[in-house]
Amino acid sequence: MLALRLVRGTHPLVLLRRLLVAAAAAGVGFLLLCTLGYAVGHPDRSASSVLRLLWCVIPLAATAHFAVAVARTDPSTRPRPGLSAIGLGPARLTALAAASTAVSCTLGSMLALLFYLHLRGDITGLPFDGAAAELLAADQPLPLAAALTLLAILPVVASTAAGLALRPRKPVAPEGAERTTPSGLPWGVALLAVGLAVETYAGQGGGNGDFPLPGRFEASPGGVLAGWVLTAVGLAMAGPGLTHWCGRLLQAVRPGAVRLLAGRVLMDESRRIGRPLGVVCAVASGAVAAVTLYGSGTGDFGPLTGLGAALVMSCTTATLLTATLESKQCRAHTTEALLRLGAPPTVLRTAALLRAGALLAVFLPLTWLVGELAAVPLGA
């Protein structure tokens, strides 16, 4: 009940972010229900149904990641003086964040169920009644227990992930202590290289162990997918380290005040924004590979594939923007101190542009290179 009151009395921009989480959850729920409808309508194609369900894991993970990022920036679940006296300590606030995340995801899942039943023709009185009855196997009864189980996956996963991400932790180092470079860069580069090697080897090995990609790539080796997963994980792990080194490069060779400020902020915030940036880089490289393949006429991009791709790209981009907002909120006191000391606002804006330019200069070529290399074995 307290979580519902916090939702009702929250700031409009925070409420908008929660509604975006609900919209993403609705998209994931609709994809899961469409997979269930395909399984009901094609009982003789159980293997294909399982593959469709496995492909739903990617947009589900992207949506859960976005939900956790929104929960981290929620001001109502941030520890403040005096709350512990009324029983709202860090552990209770973490539980409230998890409950708020579950509410948003459950709302989206219920909207997906209503929309799905409407397109099947089970709910009448609205436009487009039964518009997709044949596609969604309206002639077969919908197993309600299975539908509710699938729809419950995202709220459970997202709320659990939010609770784990926001659980109370002891401070690792005192304020102002010297940071060590993020340790994931060597492992990320190694996984990236291994993933590209596995993709190339599997692509040259023919269609053994086929694992059809979304669209109509019916003869894609399973090793290619495994290689792409390793590549994506490697980019996500390398993101914080690459961001940290971008900050170091900005401060190299007799830097001025603006470059020092820009580089130091990137180094301090490398863990917060580096991983979402690496995930966006992985998704964008997959988009580059898909555009290369679909643009050459190799495959056909179906509507549900388009919905899944749109969800993944939207959620990962929104997660990066949310992490950037969280970073800005965390250094608000530093910004206010600089302004009080007489720093002109143009210095802060120039430093922000330098940070963005440095990240684009590193991650854009990397994204293009990985996407082009990933498309080679699929187009062979």
Tell me the average pLDDT across 188-198.
88
Residue 127's CB: how many other CB atoms inside 10 A?
A: 6
pLDDT at position 281, please?
92
Compute φ and ψ for 138, nearest 5 degrees: -70, -20
Worst-scoring range by mean pLDDT, 47-56, 174-183, 218-227?
174-183
Q: Using CA atoms, how far apart are residues 299 and 379, in angstroms rounded to an integer?
A: 10
Of 219, 206, 32, the closest CA to residue 112 belongs to 32
| 176 confidence band (pLDDT: 50, 70, 90) | very low
Residue 84's CB: how many other CB atoms inside 10 A?
A: 13
Output the CA torsion 120→125→131→133 (10° steps).
20
CA distances from 166 to 102, 291, 310 (A): 14, 37, 28
Residues 108-133 have pLDDT tens digits of: 999 999 888 888 776 665 555 555 65
pLDDT at position 27, please?
94
Give yes or no for residue 213 having a pLDDT over 70: no
pLDDT at position 219, please?
54
| 174 confidence band (pLDDT: 50, 70, 90) | very low
Give CA angle at 304 (299, 309), nearest 5°: 75
pLDDT at position 7, please?
57
Give the tokens for residue 234: 């490697």
Q: Are 238 and 189 in contact (CB under 8 A)?
A: yes
Residues 29-47 have pLDDT tens digits of: 999 998 888 888 888 888 8
Distance of CA 376 to the CA centre of its chain: 26
pLDDT at position 290, please?
77
Give yes or no for residue 20 having a pLDDT over 90: yes
Tell me the average pLDDT across 297-322.
82
Residues 238-294 have pLDDT tens digits of: 999 999 999 999 998 888 888 999 999 999 988 889 999 999 999 998 888 877 776
With residues binned 3-state (H G I as helix, E B as strand, rest as coil), the percentages for the chain, rounded to 5, are: 75, 0, 25
Task: Classify the C-alpha dihedral 333-180-270-68 as positive or negative.
Answer: negative
Residues 349-363 have pLDDT tens digits of: 999 999 999 999 999
Q: Using CA atoms, how far apart are residues 266 and 248, in angstroms rounded to an integer?
A: 8
> What is the number of alpha carbons within 13 Å of residue 341 lying toward its C-beta?
9
CB neighbours of 25 closer than 8 A, spacing ≥ 6? 63, 67, 104, 105, 106, 107, 108, 109, 112, 154, 155, 158
| 9 confidence band (pLDDT: 50, 70, 90) | low
pLDDT at position 126, please?
58
